[in-house]
Amino acid sequence: MKLKNTKKIIVFILMLYFVLITVHVFLGIHSASGILSAKGNISVGLFFALQSGGGNSNMLVDIFQMFLLTIIGSAFFIYLKNNNIFSNVQQRIGYTIFLKQGLKDTFGAAAALSIVTNLYEMFLINWFYFPFVYKTNDQVYLHAIRPANILTNDLSEIVLFILLSAIGWGIFAILVFSLGLHIRKNAFYPIIGPLLGLILILLPTLGNMNNLIWRTFSYTWFLFSLVAPGQYTFVSQTPPIKSIFAFIIAAFIYLMIAAVLISVWYKQKVERE
């Protein structure tokens, strides 16, 4: 009975999520209606405007993604860990296998849902706004669409963004999972993603954003540098380093922190046996 209820809850949350994404896209389409471009790639511009840090981004959507993408593949493993009935499951299959499967599902589910979300957004834009036209553009026009383009070709830029964003969400989900290993109450786990995400977004504002050193330092671990590379700048200034480098550094930092947290949990479990 509990399993059936859990499936219903998951389906309901996913439906709610895609309803939210649908509304988000149509609001963006409405705000962009009447805008024409001689370049012919207004759909590309709208797609990036809808992403985190874009002109039509929505914090509610961002928070819901921080919640859903971080738990959809990991909640089951956290539930097993915290439920006394299944406490022997970890010991029987081994903590190493438990962690490997948990990390695999956590990363895979977050990355897959991120890709599906972006493709769904593109589908709505293509059919209800304007068909996608992919071109190679000059840097001036590109910066009008995105603060920090990585490539000059629209199609390549979108494909790269979708892939990097999926990887970024997968890595962030792993970090949340590693924190969840140390949380003993299942009810607290779903709020870790949004809480941690908001902290990582707001923390840079504690420093002086006009200071190049602080701005560069903040940009390398800023959440949107990982999950929405090339989408965000501080105080409307050019990113202090290339967004692809910021993504790589952020990914390394997040994974190293996750590795430490996982290692500590693993050692504690082994020592208690």
Listing DSSP states for the chain in one string gives -HHHHHHHHHHHHHHHHHHHHHHHHHHHHHHHTT---TTS-HHHHHHHHHSTTSTT--HHHHHHHHHHHHHTTTHHHHHHHH-GGGHHHHHHH-HHHHHHHHHHHHHHHHHHHHHHHHHHHHHHHHHHT------B--HHHHHHH-SS-S-SBHHHHHHHHHHHHHHHHHHHHHHHHHHHTT---GGGGGGHHHHHHHHHHHGGGGS-TTSHHHHHHHHHH-HHHHHSTTS--STT---SS-HHHHHHHHHHHHHHHHHHHHHHHHHHHHHH-
Q: By mean pLDDT, which of 14-23, 26-35, 37-46, 56-65 is the weakest?
A: 37-46
Radius of gyration of the chain (CA): 20
Q: Which of 63-77, 94-108, 197-211, 227-241 has the lowest mean pLDDT?
A: 227-241
Instruction: Examine the pLDDT at 101 and tell me if it is beyond 60.
Output: yes
pTM above 0.75, yes or no: yes
Is the pLDDT at 86 greater than 70, yes or no? no
Q: What is the pLDDT of residues 161-179, one digit of tens each?
A: 999 999 999 999 999 999 9
Among 100-109, 147-156, 179-188, 246-255, where is mean pLDDT lowest? 147-156
pLDDT of residue 8: 87
